[in-house]
Amino acid sequence: MEIQQEEHGRKGAFFIEEDGEWVAEMTYVRRGEDTIVIDHTEVDPKLGGQGIGRRLVEAGVKFARENGFKIKPLCPYARKVIESTPEFQDVLS
Protein backbone atom coordinates (compact mmCIF):
# COMPACT_ATOMS: atom_id res chain seq x y z
CA MET A 1 0.00 0.00 0.00
CA GLU A 2 1.42 3.28 -1.14
CA ILE A 3 1.16 6.43 0.94
CA GLN A 4 0.31 9.44 -1.18
CA GLN A 5 0.31 13.13 -0.34
CA GLU A 6 -1.99 15.91 -1.45
CA GLU A 7 -1.97 19.64 -0.64
CA HIS A 8 -4.51 22.34 -1.37
CA GLY A 9 -3.45 25.73 -0.12
CA ARG A 10 -2.52 25.42 3.56
CA LYS A 11 -4.27 22.06 4.04
CA GLY A 12 -2.81 18.69 3.20
CA ALA A 13 -3.06 14.98 3.80
CA PHE A 14 -1.11 11.77 3.64
CA PHE A 15 -3.39 8.95 2.58
CA ILE A 16 -3.79 5.45 1.21
CA GLU A 17 -6.34 4.97 -1.52
CA GLU A 18 -8.09 1.76 -2.54
CA ASP A 19 -10.61 1.58 -5.36
CA GLY A 20 -10.93 5.37 -5.45
CA GLU A 21 -11.56 5.71 -1.69
CA TRP A 22 -9.26 6.89 1.06
CA VAL A 23 -8.94 3.98 3.49
CA ALA A 24 -6.37 5.72 5.71
CA GLU A 25 -5.53 9.38 6.18
CA MET A 26 -3.60 11.84 8.27
CA THR A 27 -4.51 15.48 7.71
CA TYR A 28 -2.56 18.61 8.51
CA VAL A 29 -2.61 22.38 8.18
CA ARG A 30 0.40 24.58 7.58
CA ARG A 31 0.84 27.24 10.24
CA GLY A 32 3.23 30.01 9.38
CA GLU A 33 6.37 29.31 7.42
CA ASP A 34 7.79 26.48 9.50
CA THR A 35 5.07 24.46 11.25
CA ILE A 36 2.54 21.84 10.26
CA VAL A 37 -0.30 20.96 12.61
CA ILE A 38 -1.44 17.34 12.39
CA ASP A 39 -5.12 17.44 13.25
CA HIS A 40 -6.52 14.01 12.37
CA THR A 41 -5.46 10.42 11.72
CA GLU A 42 -7.90 7.70 10.71
CA VAL A 43 -7.48 4.16 9.42
CA ASP A 44 -10.28 1.94 8.16
CA PRO A 45 -10.88 -0.84 10.71
CA LYS A 46 -10.29 -3.48 8.02
CA LEU A 47 -6.64 -2.35 7.97
CA GLY A 48 -6.26 -2.47 11.74
CA GLY A 49 -3.16 -3.99 13.28
CA GLN A 50 -0.96 -3.39 10.24
CA GLY A 51 0.85 -0.30 11.49
CA ILE A 52 -0.77 1.92 8.86
CA GLY A 53 -1.36 4.83 11.25
CA ARG A 54 2.26 4.80 12.30
CA ARG A 55 3.37 4.73 8.66
CA LEU A 56 1.27 7.85 8.00
CA VAL A 57 2.91 9.64 10.93
CA GLU A 58 6.35 8.56 9.69
CA ALA A 59 5.51 10.04 6.26
CA GLY A 60 4.60 13.31 7.98
CA VAL A 61 7.87 13.31 9.93
CA LYS A 62 9.86 12.67 6.75
CA PHE A 63 8.00 15.50 4.99
CA ALA A 64 8.70 17.85 7.90
CA ARG A 65 12.41 17.03 7.90
CA GLU A 66 12.75 17.44 4.14
CA ASN A 67 11.08 20.86 4.26
CA GLY A 68 12.47 22.25 7.51
CA PHE A 69 9.11 22.11 9.33
CA LYS A 70 8.28 21.42 12.94
CA ILE A 71 5.18 19.39 13.79
CA LYS A 72 2.54 20.35 16.31
CA PRO A 73 0.50 17.16 16.77
CA LEU A 74 -3.04 18.05 17.89
CA CYS A 75 -4.26 14.60 16.87
CA PRO A 76 -3.93 12.35 19.95
CA TYR A 77 -2.67 9.39 17.92
CA ALA A 78 0.00 11.37 16.08
CA ARG A 79 1.06 13.03 19.35
CA LYS A 80 1.45 9.64 21.04
CA VAL A 81 3.54 8.23 18.18
CA ILE A 82 5.81 11.27 17.90
CA GLU A 83 6.29 11.75 21.64
CA SER A 84 7.03 8.06 22.23
CA THR A 85 9.52 7.72 19.36
CA PRO A 86 12.89 9.21 20.30
CA GLU A 87 14.04 9.51 16.67
CA PHE A 88 11.02 11.75 15.91
CA GLN A 89 11.77 14.29 18.65
CA ASP A 90 13.72 16.57 16.31
CA VAL A 91 10.54 17.63 14.50
CA LEU A 92 8.34 18.14 17.55
CA SER A 93 7.21 21.75 17.97
| Structural domain boundaries enclosing 71 | 4-91
The model's pTM: 0.94
Q: What is the CATH number of the domain that holds 39?
A: 3.40.630.30
Confidence (pLDDT) at 20: 93
User: For residue 90, what is the DSSP state?
Assistant: G
Q: How many domains would you assign to the chain?
A: 1
pLDDT class for 1, splitting at 50, 70, 90?
confident
**What is d(CA 45, CA 24) in angstroms, rounded to the nearest whole number?**
9
Angstrom distances, CA of residue 93 to CA of 31, 50, 53, 79, 82: 11, 28, 20, 11, 11
For range 67-75, the mean pLDDT: 97
User: Which tens digits make up the pLDDT trace of 6-44?
Assistant: 999 999 999 999 999 999 999 999 999 999 999 999 999
Confidence (pLDDT) at 64: 97
